[in-house]
Every structure is written in structure tokens, then in C-alpha cells.
Amino acid sequence: MVCANMSCKEKLELLVIGKSRKPRCFKGVKSIPVLYESNKKAWMTCSVYEDWLHKIDHKFQRENRKVLPLVDNCPAHPKVLIQTLKAIKVVHIPPNLTAKMQPMDQGIIQNLKVNYRQRIIKRLLKASDKKMWLTDLNLLDAIFDLNEAWADVTSDIIANCFQKASFVKTDVENLATQEQDEMFYNDLQRMLGFTEVTIEYFINVDTNVIIANEPTDSEILNSIKAQGP
């Protein structure tokens, strides 16, 4: 789960979903820089989403702030428990407008992926230079790489994506970061000889991976009951 505000001054910590409730690599680790949840398929579910909503609601209550999150109509993002939220008011983007109005889908998530995969490639190249296989990458490493990749998503990129989603009107668009990303992968292709692998394929290789489940009948009924009369 990725969330940032339109002023580009705040990015919430990432929500990462894994399969193991207590991964071995977490042993002895006092804290991690993300919110971590788990289920058998590492999916976003209604319960994970609702727990996340309540956590950020409590955060903004403590800070005495009122926040309007824009959320897409993923089946795992039900319109439930609205009455129990005090600091936030969730707005669900109409399904036919999500691709155009959800700022995260305009390039923010894409840039996060680019930053993360650059770090993975650098790990591979470093291991290759030492004539070693990259076998020590675990969930904890991935989480720390993801957190750093999220920190590298600049305010300019966030502003540009909100602009692209028609939230901000300006005639200036900063494409420097996009050009740097393309240069990195072009150089990488030349170094490794991966001429048959395009930048777009490498970045979007997991685009069609299923990340959420359809709510069950009981979940739908419970969500309706939770809304009250």
C-alpha cells in the first residue's frame, strides 16, 4: 500500500504484505521501517485494508488533522466502517476513472518499482563482480530496499503525478528522473547484453500478478451490518 499527500510533504510508511506471520529473518530485529501484515497468499484483503485505515486514522487523530484519502475500487477496499473513522473521510474513485484520477497510478508506484529494481540489479552486479550467487536476499532485505526506494520517490515526481491526475494545474513538468531511469536501464542492457529484454518489461513484469481477493458473501454481509441502520 502506497500513500502520499498532494503537497508532497508527507509519505506514509509502506504497508507490506507477506506470507509468513513471523518470518525467520525478523528474529532479533527490534523494528522495521514499514507496516507489515501477512496471510497465506500475501494478498491485500478487506481485513488488512480496514486495519490499515484504522491505524492511519489513529495517527491523524493524535495529530489533530483531517485527511481525505482517495482510494480506488479494488474489491479489497470495501466501503465499510466509515462511522468509526474520526480523522479521515475516504473517497472512492469511480471504477471508470481510476486509471486517470488515482495519482499513485500516474507514476508514483511505477517510480517506486524502478527504484527498488535498480537496487536489486545493483545487488546482482555486486555479487557477479565477486563471482558469487545472490542467495542471501530475504524478506527483511527487500523491506529495507523498498523503504529506501520509497524515500527516493521525490516530491517532484509526486507533484507531477497529482498534476497528471488533474489535481494541480501547471505548465511545467519535470522529466529528469524518468530520463535518468531510462539511462540506467539502457546502460544495464548494454552491460549485460539483455537486448531482448525491454525496460518496460523489466519494470512491469509483475503488473498482472493477483494481489487481492474478491470479498466473500459473509464479508459483504458483515460489512453491511457494520455500517448500522
At 194 the pLDDT is 52
At 176 the pLDDT is 44
pTM of the shown model: 0.75
Rounded to 5 degrees, what are φ and ψ at 213? -110, 160
At 175 the pLDDT is 43
pLDDT in tens, 45-92: 888 999 999 999 999 999 999 999 988 888 788 776 666 889 999 888
Q: How many CB atoms lie within 10 A of CB 213?
A: 15
- Beta-carbon contacts of residue 107 (< 8 Å; ≥ 6 apart): 157, 160, 161, 164, 178
- Beta-carbon contacts of residue 35 (< 8 Å; ≥ 6 apart): 1, 13, 14, 15, 16, 52, 55
At 171 the pLDDT is 45
* Residues of the chain where predicted confidence (pLDDT) is lower than 70: 80-83, 130-135, 169-203, 205, 208-211, 213-217, 219-229
Rounded to 5 degrees, what are φ and ψ at 15? -100, 120
Distance in Å from the first CA to the final CA of the chain: 31
At 28 the pLDDT is 93
Q: How far apart are CA 20 and CA 42, in angstroms?
A: 8
Q: Are 15 and 1 spatial neighbours (Cβ–Cβ below 8 Å)?
A: yes
* Domain range summary for the chain, segments of one domain joined by +: 15-226
At 128 the pLDDT is 74
At 15 the pLDDT is 97
109 is written with which cell numbers?
Answer: 508506484
Pairing of strands 91-92, 15-18: unpaired
